[in-house]
Amino acid sequence: DSGVTQTPKHLITATGQRVTLRCSPRSGDLSVYWYQQSLDQGLQFLIQYYNGEERAKGNILERFSAQQFPDLHSELNLSSLELGDSALYFCASSTRQVEDTQYFGPGTRLTVL
């Protein structure tokens, strides 16, 4: 158990809908990262937050947004969903810097029908 929790574990929705994925980092970790992993693909970095502020952006679509709250939990919002958004979404946390060991949550499997 990495100490990172993600909810929900599974999510099934229809095209055009909006969903919110939630992540709670390990106790004491200030950085939160979001990744997308499509079937049989590598991890794609989406975005990083550090202590409530956006720190780095990867290949995140404009339809996606995220935020980190004062209690350091984070949410990833996906809107106008398309079939191609079906994937595993992982949240990870680290102490501070991007070079620190990242601890990954169990992921949320999103299926868009």
Footprint on this chain of other proteins (rule: CB under 8 A): 2, 4, 41-43, 45, 56, 88, 90, 92, 97-99, 101-102, 104-107, 109
Residue 14 Cβ, how far from other proteins at the closest point, in Å?
A: 23
**Is cis: bond before 70, omega within 30 of 0?**
no
**Residue 30 or residue 107: which is nearer to other proteins going by CB?**
107
Residue 80 Cβ, how far from other proteins at the closest point, in Å?
A: 26
**Residue 73 or residue 109: which is nearer to other proteins going by CB?**
109
Residue 5 Cβ, how far from other proteins at the closest point, in Å?
A: 11
Angle, CA 35 vertex, CA 26 and CA 112 arms, to 5°: 115
Residue 16 Cβ, how far from other proteins at the closest point, in Å?
A: 27
Strand 10-13 to strand 44-50: parallel, antiparallel, or no bridges (unpaired)? unpaired
**Residue 43 or residue 61: which is nearer to other proteins going by CB?**
43
Structure tokens at 55: 């720190």
**Residue 61 or residue 88: which is nearer to other proteins going by CB?**
88
Partner residues linked to 22 by β-bridges: 7, 75
Q: What is the DSSP string of 67-89?
A: EE-TTS-EEEEE-S--GGG-EEE
